[in-house]
Amino acid sequence: MSISNIPCLLFLLLLVSFIEQLATLGFCQEINELRRDDFPSDFVFGAGTSAYQVEGAVAKDGRKPSVWDIFTHEGNVIDKSTRDIAADGYHKYKEDVKLMSDLGLEAYRFSISWSRVLPDGRGAMNPKGIEYYNNRINELISHGIQPHITLYHLDLPQTLEDEYFGWLSPKIIEDFTKYADVCFKEFGDRVGHWTTLNEPNIMFIASYNSGFFPPQRCSYPGGLIFNCTVGNSSVEPYIAMHHYLLSHASAARLYKEKCQAKHNGLVGLNLNFLWAPPKTNNTSDRIASKRAIDFYIGWAMDPLIHGDYPESMKTRVGSRIPSFTETESELIKGSADFIGINHYNTVYIQDNPSNATDGHADYYVDMNVKMSVTKDDTPGGQFDPTGYMPSNPSGLHMLLQYLKEYYGNPPVYIHENGYSAPKNEELNDTVRIDYMNGFIGSTLKAIRNGTNTRGCFVWSFVDVFEVLFGYTTRYGLVHVDFEDKELKRQPKSSARCGNGYSCILLFARFGNVQDIASKIMLFSQQGPRAVCILSANGAVSTVTLQQPASSGGSVTYEIYF
């Protein structure tokens, strides 16, 4: 019905009354439960990508290969693809930043390619690489978007791997610190949040225990899926993590001594956080659950908070896990201003008393647990990153509570959380919307319970080259047509839910339900479920109000003004 001649005030009163009636029928449940002012005023909503997954331009303007360039060209990705072009973020960053602005992102998390800034891993800077990241940072700031930068996201310069085996050598500590110093000097005046490494726990298990990632070093029983020609799974994962923690601490000290007072920024680290509750309430499974959490989370968190590895790890791994000197322990303890969480999955844990090693050891043998993705699933001995993992938002809440209770409630940013869909995913990605709403709700619950959670970043902003999967799976809020020469971008429903505003990130701009009348853009039914879609523009252009059939109605009301 057209009501364009009704005075604006009367229209708003009628609209608010109508919305309130709909709310009594269960409509707009997400809006009533999740409001922007439920989150702290400084809580940030954003999205992310990484350099090697989005930039492309692998041989452009002086960049030299990383270990992932060599790895993909050897055919190690499921679809045999490479990331030579990826989503061409190197050339399309202005278009992408404009999309971010249109969709209401408050922050964008991305990584810097070490081999684009320092092509040989050390020594002379690459002016073109510095120019690119300066331009990208400036473009973000000009659109009011905070840059959150990760220094390292898997892509070690190949020269350092060839020279001294990368993270297996203590030489990496000095080289990483010098690389960080370059980034702090060149970009630090505009960057308030620095993360040293992304997911070292996943990276070092996959690279040095199981052989999923380059440099594909592993040994029995670690290399049961990928056959490695070199490596020692019983010691190398622990050595690599040890050198990472020292690298992080060294770079963090450098920033705090030289930059923090001047730029008022923060430096933290990022981990992949599986939540690992016991599968049963048996004492053995509860002990195994804590052991799994120690191995997966405590491996890095305990040194950061307490200055040493968990006792369960030191007991089970023994002399194969390196020791910190007193000086190193003091350097690492308290070195992170915040913790970045990448969380996608919950696994259920059972003790594994029959774990026969035949004298061989690796990370999973040391952990000595069985893992299941559901409580009804048959447990296995290793986490398979290529396997199906169901959504479980409650795991994120429990994880945040654990960090509060066991590690003194450190500041936390959820750096990655997202939904993977097949290559042929429809643009109307309602499953992703439901997935993300669940995890945002879990985050809010944790905040209300006192956790120090500062922000949430969706993975990923655009579809990217995915680790191991290439272009066969999509995480993006924005669809990228990888068959199109121009790599056309098109926001999905999860990113463009009416007038260019993101459903997933709608809480970044909206206020209370009391002032919702000026922000309703679309109210419609999807199956038996009513969905509220809003506009960030402060005015209603179209409102569609459809009563769900489950409530006995079938009439669609359209209001124009």
Catalytic residue check, 330? no
**Mean pLDDT, residues 345-352 taken together:** 93
Per-residue pLDDT at 522:
37
Distances (CA, A) of 534 to 156, 203, 294, 522, 538: 43, 39, 43, 6, 10
**Residue 144, token pair as written in the block:** 């009011």
CA distance 215 to 76: 11
pLDDT per residue as tens digits for the range 393-412: 999 999 999 999 999 999 99
CA distance 259 to 189: 9
Q: Which of 55, 139, 161, 199 is catalytic?
A: 199
**Residue 88, token pair as written in the block:** 């061409």
Bridge-partner residues for 66, per DSSP? Answer: 157
Q: Determine contact, residues 250/104, Cβ cutoff 8 Å.
A: no
Q: Determine contact, residues 61/128, Cβ cutoff 8 Å.
A: yes
Give the rounded distance of the alpha carbon of 492 from its chain centre. 19
- The torsion angles phi and psi of 211, rounded to 5 degrees, stand at 80, 15
CB atoms within 10 A of CB 358: 8
Instruction: Show the domains of the chain with their CATH numbers.
Output: 36-509 (3.20.20.80)
Catalytic residue check, 326? no
| Average pLDDT in the chain | 83
Per-residue pLDDT at 138:
99
Which residue type does 428 have? N
Give the rounded distance of the alpha carbon of 188 from its chain centre. 22
Distances (CA, A) of 120 to 33, 115, 130, 304, 411: 51, 6, 14, 30, 35
Per-residue pLDDT at 35:
67
CA distance 231 to 525: 55
CB atoms within 10 A of CB 60: 15
The percent of residues above 90 in pLDDT, for the chain, comes to 67
- The torsion angles phi and psi of 61, rounded to 5 degrees, stand at 55, 40
Q: Strand, coil or helix: what is 15? A: helix
Burial of 394 per CB tally in 10 Å (0-12, 13-18, 19+) = middle
**Among the listed residues 185, 125, 110, the one whose alpha carbon sits nearest the alpha carbon of residue 155:** 110
pLDDT per residue as tens digits for the range 223-261: 666 778 899 999 999 999 999 999 999 999 999 999 999
> Residue 42: which H helix or E strand, with range?
none
pLDDT per residue as tens digits for the range 432-482: 888 888 899 899 999 999 999 999 999 999 999 998 899 999 999 999 999
**Among the listed residues 357, 382, 388, 385, the one whose alpha carbon sits nearest the alpha carbon of residue 370:** 382
Which residue type does 389 have? M
Q: Which residues contact 108 (CB under 8 A, 6 or more apart)?
A: 46, 47, 48, 97, 100, 140, 145, 146, 147, 148, 461
Length of the chain: 561
Per-residue pLDDT at 227:
75
CA distance 279 to 297: 18
Distances (CA, A) of 214 to 166, 326, 452: 11, 32, 35
Q: Which residue has the higher pLDDT, 18 or 313?
A: 313
Q: Which of 270-279, 362-371, 468-477, 505-514 has the lowest mean pLDDT?
A: 505-514
Q: Is the pLDDT of residue 316 over 50?
A: yes
pLDDT per residue as tens digits for the range 31-74: 335 666 778 889 999 999 999 999 999 999 999 999 999 999 99
Q: Which of 55, 416, 425, 466 is catalytic?
A: 416
CA distance 420 to 492: 13
pTM for the complete prediction? 0.83
